[in-house]
Amino acid sequence: MPRTDPPHVGNEEELLWAFLDYGRDTLVLKTDGLDAAQLDTRLAPSTMTLGGMLSHMAFVEDWWFSVRLHGNAPEPPFAGVDWEADWDWDWHTAVDRSPDELRGMLAAAVARSRDRVAGMDLDTVAATRTHSGEPFTLRWIVLHMVEEYARHNGHADLLRESIDGSTGH
């Protein structure tokens, strides 16, 4: 799977979206070619898996670019989940999905995210507020998503190396 490095020159918007896409592509690369058992591999003491990460990031894409930004209800398979009963439902249920389904979930969520922000200004204020009632913008969401992918891609590096020794993606 090809991945394009972010440009070294560009305006703020171009660079933000490029870094977000780079993070998205990195996670896909980290899971490329792995089967269901490999996607469910854990590195003790963590319960984190690469399959769970694909599911989690599909949820996070929809959460921030749909639920929080536009005020939409969660989409399937996240609609109707009792998050209070299992705060990590997105992570825990990945084992019940095939590698193709997990990769497809993330790809579909990313495509929906891109559609939802097409033509929007980074200063657009989200339909929802922070827990303390403060507004936040699309710019904040994009920066948060860059951080979210960067953090989880660090986890993915360790998990992938423990599975098959692959490093350096």
If phi > 0 it is left, if psi is from -120 to 50 it is alpha, else beta; for residue 10 that is left
Domain locations along the chain: 12-164
Closest among 84, 69, 55, 79 to 123, alpha carbons compared: 69
Instruction: Quote the tokens at residue 158.
Output: 């360790």
Q: What is the DSSP string of 116-162?
A: HHTT--TTPBPSS--TTS---BHHHHHHHHHHHHHHHHHHHHHHHHH
pTM equals 0.95
105 touches 54 (CB < 8 A):
yes
Chain CA centroid to CA 65, Å = 11
Burial category of 137 from C-beta neighbours within 10 Å (exposed 0-12, middle 13-18, buried 19 and up): middle
Local structure of residue 150 (DSSP, 8 states): H
CATH architecture of 12-164: Up-down Bundle (1.20)
Q: How confident is the model at residue 12 (pLDDT cuts 50, 70, 90)?
A: very high
51 touches 40 (CB < 8 A):
yes
**Mean pLDDT in residue range 143-161:** 97
Q: How confident is the model at residue 1 (pLDDT cuts 50, 70, 90)?
A: low
125 beta partners: 137
In the predicted structure, residue 2 carries a pLDDT above the cut 90: no
* Degrees to nearest 5, angle at CA 31 with 81 and 99: 55
